[in-house]
Each structure stands twice: as structure tokens, then as C-alpha cells.
Amino acid sequence: MEMLLKTHSQRKKHLRLAEIIATMVEFWGIFVVFSACAAIQLTESRIQHAYRPTSLSASDELSDISNSISDSSKDDSASSSLLQGNMFVDTSVASSDSAQETQRVEHSTVAESTESSVESTTPSTTTPKIRLSLSERREELSVFTDNLMTEYSKHYVGKTRDVIKKIIVELETSTEKSDDLEERLIAIKATLKELDAFDIESDDLDDASDIVHELNDVLDEPVNEPPEMVAALKKVGWLDMRHKLYDETVAILDKFGKAFNQFVATLSPWERLTEAGLVELSKRFNKDKTVDQWDLFDEFWTYFQ
């Protein structure tokens, strides 16, 4: 038993000694590595020092370092000043824009508020359009057409009368008048007297228009007229006057046609049945030529008697 204990004790000593030796070996290994690194670092430092200029003293080196630090601080200061300046400009512009935008928003809000208050206090002037009855629409079309015809009748009678007066003046200036010319002059004067009996602005000119119509049939193609009459008609511009009146009829027919079509377009299906005659007349009016359209006026009025 004692042998075993002694053997065990010796083993523990051996193990302890082995641990101490291992620790020492590890320590010296680290020390050797550290010494090697320090030697390498020292060698590199000496090499760098060997290549530096020998003319620079320690004070020069300190001066260079100080200048370098000073320049760096100046650059940083300038950069900082420039940055601050730019930030100041941008901030002021942004602030101005923001203020203007705020003013615009406030102004817009005030304007909208004012408009709203005006609209709320002002009564609405827009009223829905009431559909006219059939009789009212017929009356509108009748009055519109009558006004067109009345205005044209004034020109038809008045312009013809003015030209007749000029014809009479031309015929009376002839020194030698043939019997045919004397007869035509008397007839022209009688026609002028009849037309002068009408008040162009206030009278009904239907009868006056009939007189002019008969005269036109004779003078538009004066094949049987004396030479003096033919010359007088050309000189006073009889045909020019007739062409101008024709242009007026074209304009009147265009206005009447639009109003007539508009009236037909307002008719309901039931009204189209009751106004079948006018609907058919509208179709014929749109197809006929100008001369035929003018003749349709007589038929048009038969639906308004």
C-alpha cells in the first residue's frame, strides 16, 4: 500500500514538473517571436531614416507638420464657410418661396371664401328653359319668316322705285322722242306714281311688290323696247340692281331654311302627325333649287291662315 502511495506521489511530481517545463517553453517561444518582430520593426525604421533628407532639422520637421495642420484647418474652414454660405442662400430662397406660396394659398382661400359668400348671398339667375307649346313654336316661325319677307319687300320695292326715277330722267333728256318712247315714258311715270303711293316703312307692300313684278317681266328682257329705253336701262344699272336683289333672296332662303328645319326638329312624333303638311313641305324645300324655294313661300303661308 505504501508503495502504491509513493508511486502515485512520484507520478504527481513528474506531471507537475512536466507542466512547469511546458509553461516555460511556451513563454520563451512567445518571447522569441516578440523579439524577432521588434528587431524587424527597428530595421525598417533605420532604413526609412536613412532615405530622409539630411538637410531638414527637427525644428523644420515640426514646422512642416505645423504648416500642414494649419493649411488643413484653413481648407476645412473655407469649405465650411462656403457650405454655410450656400446653405444660407438656399435657405433664404426656400424661405421666400415658402412665404410666397403661403401668401398664394391664403389669397386663394380668401378669394374662394369671398366667391362662396357671394354665391350664397346672390340669388340664382339661371332658370330652366321651358319648352314652348306647338302653337307658340308655330308663331315664332311665322313671325320670323314674316320679318324676313317684310325686310326684303322694302328693298324690292324701294330699290326698283329709285332706279325707275333714274330711267325717267334719262328718257326725258332725249331731244327727239319717238312715239314708242313717248308711250313707254308715260307708262313708266304711271308706274312710279303708283309706287310713290306706298309708304315703304309702314305700309303693306304686297300690292307694290305685284306692280314691281309686272314691271320686271318687261324690263329684264327689253326685246320690244325702244333703243333709248334699252340704253337708259344699261346706264342706270337696272340689271345690277336686279342681281343684288337676287343675292338678298339667296340669303333670306338660307335663314328661312335653317329656322324651318329647326322647327321640324322640335316636333314630337305625335306633332309630326298633326303637322304632316309642314314636314313634307320642309323636305321639298331642302331638295328644290333657289328659284323653286322662293315659290314655296306662297304654299308655306297656307299653313298659317
- Report pLDDT for 231: 93
- Global model pTM greater than 0.75: no
pLDDT number for residue 216: 94
Q: How far is CA 260 from CA 122, 197, 198, 254, in A?
A: 39, 34, 31, 10
pLDDT score recorded for residue 26: 58
What is the mean pLDDT of each successive set of 10 residues along the chain, which is 305 residues long? Answer: 42 54 54 54 48 42 43 42 35 42 45 44 58 93 95 95 95 85 92 94 91 93 90 95 95 95 96 96 90 86 89
Q: Looking at residue 134, what is its pLDDT?
A: 94
